[in-house]
Amino acid sequence: MSKESAKLSSALENYLEIIAFIQKEKKVVRVVDIANYLGVKSPSVNIAIKLLAENGFVEHEKYRCVELTPKGEKIAHEVQEKHDALFSFLNQLLFVENFVAKEEACAIEHVVSDETISRLKNLFLYLKNSVFTNKKKLTEFRDFLLNNKVRD
Amino acid sequence: MSKESAKLSSALENYLEIIAFIQKEKKVVRVVDIANYLGVKSPSVNIAIKLLAENGFVEHEKYRCVELTPKGEKIAHEVQEKHDALFSFLNQLLFVENFVAKEEACAIEHVVSDETISRLKNLFLYLKNSVFTNKKKLTEFRDFLLNNKVRD
DNA sequence: AAAAAATATTAGTTTTATCTAAATTTATTT
DNA sequence: AAATAAATTTAGATAAAACTAATATTTTTT
């Protein structure tokens, strides 16, 4: 019952993302690592892994390590890209503090299209290259952003 | 078992948002209207209404109409504000097409802080007032945005 | 190599959000 | 005012994503 084109849930996308991250860091991905990084218990990881394996996103032999398939890697990479774009935008342009920017990027990354992300990246580029061309201009903008609270 | 400070789920926030919307449009909010607007069946609405009523966000007498309490109105208004800010940003600045912008605003509105929204609004203001100060500049930016695809 | 520790899996539960089908209540029409 | 239609509610089911407790397997230590 593996649907080729099925859209993954946020939760499952997150699993792929974290698996890719651990793979880069430690080469070998154990269930326990995934559980720790995501702050869930290992049986939850098991269920997720089973679903991901059924749909060809990971390979997993019982009691052994987890590996992304090319298909899984692709998704993981796309989500990571979105995360990075969103985080930079929130953190470097809107000056949202690290922790919050990370959390919000983590939530938004699963609900926004590639196209929108591409445009956000371009906006960021444009502002860096053509508007906030030096430190002073960026600082002025920062002050504007932080002081000029918009009211309802 | 009503927790005063409990954070509402995206789904329940959506119910409040749509109830406010219908209230404005038609004065009287029926279960069937909510179901139609949200694309769910009426028993689902019932369950949601019950939860919202238990926590003081709506009032609802059996077989009668649904009304927001001030507490419910407050949340509905906040979510609506976020929606509008996100929609404008996506649609007017990133030129994301209406339908997509609406969909994405609808998803993001539940996972982003007031603070981030306030900054997004300010960014938008700043760009309108100090960067894209005439039609030509905005059009140039639009071209940049749409042509200059960012690659991975 | 046996015992202990760590890790993984299974089984069963909970919560949230949806559904269908059936029953109940309210509103409308004849 | 009865009959019909519309709307609401109840009851019961399903799926996703988490949990705990218990079991199984693998790894490490002695």
Asked if the Cβ of residue B62 lies within 7 A of any atom of strand D, the reply is yes
Q: What is the pLDDT of residue B149?
A: 62
Residue numbers of chain A with a pLDDT score lower than 50: 1-3
B100 and A116 in contact by Cβ < 8 A?
yes
Question: Using CA of residue A40, residue A41, residue A45, residue A48, what is the dihedral sign?
Answer: negative
Other residues' Cβ atoms within 10 Å of the Cβ of residue B9: 12
Res. B2 pLDDT band, cuts 50 70 90: very low
CA of A77 to C1' of D29 (A): 40
Q: Is B59 helix (H, G, I), strand (E, B) or coil?
A: strand
> For chain A, where are the E strands, in sequence order?
58-60, 66-68
Partner A contacted by B9 (CB < 8 A)? no
Half-sphere exposure of B33 (CA within 13 A, CB side): 19
Q: Average pLDDT over chain B, rounded to whole?
A: 92
CB of B56 lies under 7 Å from some atom of strand D? no
- Tens digit of pLDDT for each residue in B42-86? 999 999 999 999 999 999 999 999 999 999 999 999 999 999 999
The β-bridge partners of B68 are: B58
- Chain B residues 23-42 with Cβ under 7 Å of strand D are 30-33, 42
Tokens at residue B3, please? 């927790």
User: How wide is the angle at C-alpha A117 spanned by C-alphas A113 and A118, nearest 5°?
Assistant: 115
Nearest CA in chain A to B115: A96
CB burial readout B47-56, b (16+ within 10 A) else e: ebbebbbebe
Residue-level pLDDT at A4: 52
SS3 call for A29: strand
Return d(Cα B120, Cα B117) in angstroms, integer: 5
Per-residue confidence (pLDDT) for residue B27, from 0 to 100: 87
CB B85 within 8 A of CB B120: yes
Which nucleotides along chain C are within 7 A of a protein C-beta? Answer: 6-12, 16-21, 25-26
Beta strands B66-68; B58-60: pairing state: antiparallel
Closest residue on chain A to B149 (Cα)? A118
